[in-house]
Structure 1
Amino acid sequence: MKTALFFLLGVLVVTVAVVQMFALKRDREAAQNYPPTGQLIDVDGVTVHVEQMGEGPDLVLLHGASGSTRDFSFAFADRLKDRYRVTLLDRPGLGWTEQIDPAHKQAWSTAHASPHDQARLLKAATDKVGVSNPIIVGHSFGGIVGYAWALEFDDLAGFVSVAGVANPWPGDLGWTYRLNGSAWGGALAVPILSAFVPQTYIETTLESIFEPQSAPEGYLDHVGAALSLRRHSLRANARQVNWLRPYVVEMSARYGDITVPVEIVHGDADTIVPLEVHSAKVPGQIKGANVTVLPGIGHMPQHTNPDDVIAAIDRVARRAGLR
């Protein structure tokens, strides 16, 4: 009996070691193939990745779940830098920005950065690089961080939500977030996913994010999905998303306190952050908020309908007196 027990324990130890070895290899390859494209700055002991380009009124871009600055730098930011100073930021635990708190880095944990935590860190980072009176643009999860920014601070010109999370949703987010966002799932399941997820899964996931449209040619190579598959990024993303809803409940009750111009761009075919659940309700919550509905468009308007998103940014700039 003891021999069998020791044998099983040995197999378990070897299996864990092999998984961690392969996961570490993928972590290193991601870092080598997709290095920081901007500058790494220190904000109260936390490293934040910031990229800036262009000239003009300040515009801050916040990426969505599992993303990084590379989503916006693929093509979208280049279309704005002729008339805005564009600042791209990696959110905590994603891309090249560190987690805010040491507890967030632990494998056996559910500790995570709330939207308010993220807004405070990223606001401090933009202050350090000279951003003043910015328009905040948030896509998907970046949207709820943008709403937190508008609730926390009054020195912004306005806010643009692009398919952004805004209001509480019914039900849960599915078993993968529950698993990877849990303490034991983050410690045991995440390394397996990080080590062995196949390229076909990455491609299928990308297709589902863009549906019913398709990703632009070259997007997958540029965006660096491998960065999001690093163990610490998988944990950060899963925890932030899985435990998000209570923050959204609290925040949405306070949207009436937001007084800056708010523009929203959202596709009515978005199944990831559904229009009717999230953005459609905001005009009744924020005075003067305007929603541009894109018929037949999915979750990635900044790539499929960039002109509509840019028009919303320009409207905020005019409403704020920046144009």
Structure 2
Amino acid sequence: MLITLTLIALLVAGLVVWTKLKTREIEARYPPAGEMIDVGGYKLHAVHVPRPADADLPALVFIHGASGNLLDQSVPFRPKLEGRAEMLFIDRPGHGWSERGGAANATPDGQANAIAAAMKTKGITSAIIIGHSFGGAIAASFALAHPEMTSGLVFLAPATHSWPGGIAWYYDLTRLPVIGPLFANTLALPAGLTRLESGSACVFAPNPKPDDYITSTAPALVLRPGAFRNNAIDVANLKPYVSRVAPRYSEIRTPTVIITGDSDSVVLAHIHSEGLARDIEGAELVWIRNLGHKPDHVTTDLAVRAIEKVAGYDVDLETAAEMAEASLAADDAGCPS
């Protein structure tokens, strides 16, 4: 018995050491891309693109989803919008290189307030808020808490309403005291690295994952123990949060476009996207056939057109959607087991 316990203790210690070393390696490979913004006792990491002299769009603030960081939005959108608008790409509290802050940041409203504080620090008084997946819940919360700072909303495959069922077991495990930190510091990173490519492919399916997605957007950052646990807590808190807040979405009064795919295997579009279209007066819902969970990367041009529409341009989103669908019609990438 003593020998068994000793072996277990040595194994755990070895995994902890390996995780620390691998974390340093990941951080060296994907260093901060922007600046640290003090938002009142802690700092958020962000890439701020100043307003160009000939900007034709209002300021744009991008909010990434679960398991992500600001690169997931800056990689597809910055090249498309450079020179047209002031942009702010933010690592959500406790993700990427941002510090977590207090307990309030365990729910979307706290994170929305943190983003608002970062905007004010950079002199952004109002902006179109673009939220992908989990970022959609934060974008909606932002509009509720800071309507005067919200000039428009663009939701991309959002997660905003209560859904049937629960969440993946490792989220529930990781958020627990004692057991959660132990799991995050031992097994999460080695197990996660084996699923990085296949898991990302499943998020994109049926659309093919870009070959450079892992290296260009650094999803490995979420496998670091602190970020992994913050991500798990965020996801575990989402369902009770949106169950409480979704009835207030009817209070939102701002131009809104929602882009969603009929082949999204991550969120149930008929619950979240249709729910937003129902709840926000005047919201335009754009359904795309054969689109998975990544309209930010797969249909970036359509998302840009949605931003233009929200900004007041006369944009025919129906025609833009038809063009996007035509480009995806032959996609049949699977989800690796």
- Relative to the length of structure 1, the TM-score reads 0.90
In 2, are the aligned partners of 1:261 and 1:319 still within 8 Å (CA)?
Answer: no
Say if 2:121 is the partner of 1:120.
Answer: no
Q: Deviations over 1:243-273 (max 9, x none)?
A: 2111101111101111111111111111101
Change in 2 beyond 3 A, CA 1:206/1:63? same
In 1, are the aligned partners of 2:15 and 2:187 still within 8 Å (CA)?
Answer: no
SS of 1:227's equivalent? helix
Change in 2 beyond 3 A, CA 1:195/1:246? closer
User: More deviation in 91-100 or 175-184?
Assistant: 175-184
Matched with 1:302 is 296
Cα separation, 1, equivalents of 2:303 and 2:11: 48
Aligned counterparts, 1:1-323, within 5 A: 4-5=1-2, 7-53=3-49, 55=52, 56=55, 57-101=58-102, 113-155=106-148, 156-197=150-191, 199-318=193-312
Change in 2 beyond 3 A, CA 1:153/1:282? same
Q: Percent same amino acid at aligned positions? A: 34
User: More deviation in 306-315 or 188-197?
Assistant: 188-197
- State the Cα distance separating 1:118 from its structure 2 match: 0.3
In 2, are the aligned partners of 1:68 and 1:91 still within 8 Å (CA)?
Answer: yes
SS of 2:87's equivalent? strand
In 1, are the aligned partners of 2:258 and 2:277 still within 8 Å (CA)?
Answer: no
Q: Which amino acid aligns with 1:193?
A: L
Structure 1: runs of 5 or more not aligned? 105-110
SS of 2:20's equivalent? helix
- State the Cα distance separating 1:134 from its structure 2 match: 0.4
Matched with 1:108 is none
Q: Which amino acid aligns with 1:228?
A: V
Change in 2 beyond 3 A, CA 1:147/1:15? same
SS of 2:45's equivalent? strand
Q: CA RMSD in A?
A: 1.8
Runs of 4+ in 1 over 4 A off after TM superposition: none
- Relative to the length of structure 2, the TM-score reads 0.87
In 2, are the aligned partners of 1:61 and 1:136 still within 8 Å (CA)?
Answer: yes
- State the Cα distance separating 1:195 from its structure 2 match: 4.0
In 2, are the aligned partners of 1:159 and 1:261 still within 8 Å (CA)?
Answer: yes
In 1, are the aligned partners of 2:106 and 2:237 still within 8 Å (CA)?
Answer: no
SS of 2:73's equivalent? helix
Q: Deviations over 1:188-238 (max 9, x none)?
A: 222223442264411110111100001122111111122111000110001
SS of 1:299's equivalent? coil
Change in 2 beyond 3 A, CA 1:185/1:204? farther
- State the Cα distance separating 1:9 from its structure 2 match: 4.1
Cα separation, 1, equivalents of 2:85 and 2:70: 17
Cα separation, 2, equivalents of 1:163 and 1:8: 48
